[in-house]
A and B are shown apart, each in its own frame.
Chain A
Amino acid sequence: MEKIPILRMGEFLLVTIQIDMHDQLALKLQDDLSNAIQKNATKGVLIDISSLEMVDSFIGRMVADISGMGRILGAETILVGMQPAVAITLVELGLSLPGVATALNVERGMALLRRKIDADGADVVAH
């Protein structure tokens, strides 16, 4: 069965969705990712959807759920590389994904993630 790979990069996890997601796959990803975050004590998750060209409302919600889940598990989650067509579709579907952090590409996403985690770390030191 096809599977979406979850790559570990230090304290970050990188999920690259390179195929068109179907519902089963999205549910499986949600499961795998939450387990991986738990197992690796991950601080940040980067979900790259730059190859995703089609979304429906279910996948849109799934993406939002996955990033919400990451946050609850204590990992900053950033959605990167959304295609214009996908963004337009999601907006038309009424899914504005509030609270989901986004970035234009993996590089920017990584920088943003670092910044966020640094900011959190600084807070701890300050207190």
Chain B
Amino acid sequence: MADATMSNVLKKSGKEIQANWSRDLAAAQASSKGRISAAELEQQAAEFIKLLTVASEHAKSSDISAPEFKAIREFLEGVSRSRVAQGFSSEETASFIFSVKKPFFAALRTDAGKDADALADQVWRATELLDALGLHTIKVYQKSREDVINRQQREMLELSTPVVKLWDGILALPMIGTLDSARTQVVMENLLQKVVETGAQIAILDITGVPTVDTLVAQHLLKTVTALRLMGAECIISGVRPQIAQTIVHLGVDLQGVTTKANLADALALALKRTGSTSLRS
């Protein structure tokens, strides 16, 4: 089924559709707070109409996954990504495509004249196609947004777990934010890797920035301490706040065998003493 009428209409009154569409877009654009220029919008509209004309001329069906629609799909993907970067909402992004319907249908109507059946048929085909294209745009929009979120999440994960070398043979890991399984895993791996790289004897886990410690978090801390011990390094937990000390005792978490200190300074002093004494002896 070649959309003969549709491509004819597009070819014949493409300019007119584009002009009307651009006008509508410009009117809507007033609310976009200058995130996109009128010239850019117009250029995108022109490109879309051009690609749609080419695509509908060659397309056998309105299945937009067909190779004829590749160019227009890619164009929409580009538009969608730039909309994400410019901070548009999904609604605004979708209405870019859907707003072409009005001028397009008007052109179809002029073309069909009094033939209501043909008009209905054409409008349906056009709607089907434009809806599919619009949905595709939204799909890409959402995907781009998810990519942004994932990237930020990864960055946050990395940012929040720096391993600092405090002294020769002493590492510190200031933990900030809530600890969950995934984060502890990353923290633990980073720390252990650093211990291997630097040959550190003592690692200080500073939990000043951890808002709450529940049994799960305590469990995670204990795991890290045990893993460090297995590798032959010692671990001191510092920055235990009074409330946290109370919670830990109330929860009945057994922190026996783990050295804990109220602040990082005390922990460092202890660590220095321990490493100092060992280096003196050997």
Taking a contact as CB atoms under 8 Å apart, the answer to whether B189 and A102 are in contact is no
Nearest chain-B residue to A118 (Cβ)? B281
B219 CB to nearest A CB, Å: 10
What's the interface size class on A, roughly? 20 to 34
Taking a contact as CB atoms under 8 Å apart, the answer to whether B199 and A91 are in contact is no
Inter-chain CA distance A13–B208, complex, in Å, is: 44
B78 within 8 A of partner (CB)? no
Taking a contact as CB atoms under 8 Å apart, the answer to whether B232 and A83 are in contact is no
Chain B positions 186 through 216: 1 when the CB is less than 8 Å from some CB of chain A, otherwise 0: 0011001101100111000000000000000
Residues of A with C-beta under 8 A to B185: 88
Residues of B with C-beta under 8 A to A103: 232
A73 CB to nearest B CB, Å: 22
Majority DSSP secondary structure for residues of B touching A: helix
Residues of B with C-beta under 8 A to A83: 196, 231
Contact of B192 among A87, A92, A96, A108 (CB under 8 A): A87
A21 within 8 A of partner (CB)? no
Stretch at the interface among B87-95, B108-116, B222-230, B261-269: B222-230
Residues of B with C-beta under 8 A to A80: 232
Contact of A115 among B188, B189, B281 (CB under 8 A): B281
Tell me whether A84 and B196 are in contact in the complex, defined as CB-CB below 8 angstroms, given that A91-B223, A111-B282, A115-B282 are known contacts. yes
B233 within 8 A of partner (CB)? yes
A4 within 8 A of partner (CB)? no
Inter-chain CA distance A83–B223, complex, in Å, is: 15
A105 within 8 A of partner (CB)? yes
Taking a contact as CB atoms under 8 Å apart, the answer to whether B232 and A88 are in contact is no
Taking a contact as CB atoms under 8 Å apart, the answer to whether B226 and A91 are in contact is yes
A54 within 8 A of partner (CB)? no
Taking a contact as CB atoms under 8 Å apart, the answer to whether A108 and B281 are in contact is no
Taking a contact as CB atoms under 8 Å apart, the answer to whether B232 and A102 are in contact is yes
Chain A positions 76 through 88: 1 when the CB is less than 8 Å from some CB of chain B, otherwise 0: 0001111110111
A-B contact count (CB 8 A): 62
Taking a contact as CB atoms under 8 Å apart, the answer to whether B192 and A104 are in contact is no
Inter-chain CA distance A104–B228, complex, in Å, is: 10
Residues of B with C-beta under 8 A to A26: none
Residues of A with C-beta under 8 A to B199: 104-105, 108
Taking a contact as CB atoms under 8 Å apart, the answer to whether B232 and A91 are in contact is no
Inter-chain CA distance A104–B278, complex, in Å, is: 14
A90 within 8 A of partner (CB)? yes
Q: Which of A37-56 contact B (CB under 8 A)?
A: none
Tell me whether A88 and B201 are in contact in the complex, defined as CB-CB below 8 angstroms, given that A80-B232, A104-B232, A115-B281 are known contacts. no
Contact of A96 among B188, B189, B200, B230 (CB under 8 A): B230
Residues of B with C-beta under 8 A to A90: 227, 230
Inter-chain CA distance A86–B227, complex, in Å, is: 9
Residues of A with C-beta under 8 A to B282: 111, 114-115
Nearest chain-B residue to A105 (Cβ)? B199
Inter-chain CA distance A86–B200, complex, in Å, is: 18
Contact of B193 among A84, A108, A109, A114 (CB under 8 A): A84
Residues of A with C-beta under 8 A to B201: 104, 108
Tell me whether A102 and B231 are in contact in the complex, defined as CB-CB below 8 angstroms, given that A87-B192, A88-B192 are known contacts. yes
B265 CB to nearest A CB, Å: 25
Could you list 21 A-B pairs, sorted by A, with CB under 8 Å? A79-B232, A82-B231, A83-B231, A84-B189, A84-B192, A87-B192, A87-B228, A88-B188, A88-B192, A90-B227, A91-B230, A96-B229, A96-B230, A100-B230, A102-B230, A102-B231, A104-B196, A104-B201, A104-B231, A104-B232, A115-B282
Binding site for B on A (CB under 8 A): 79-84, 86-88, 90-92, 96-97, 100, 102-105, 108-109, 111, 114-115
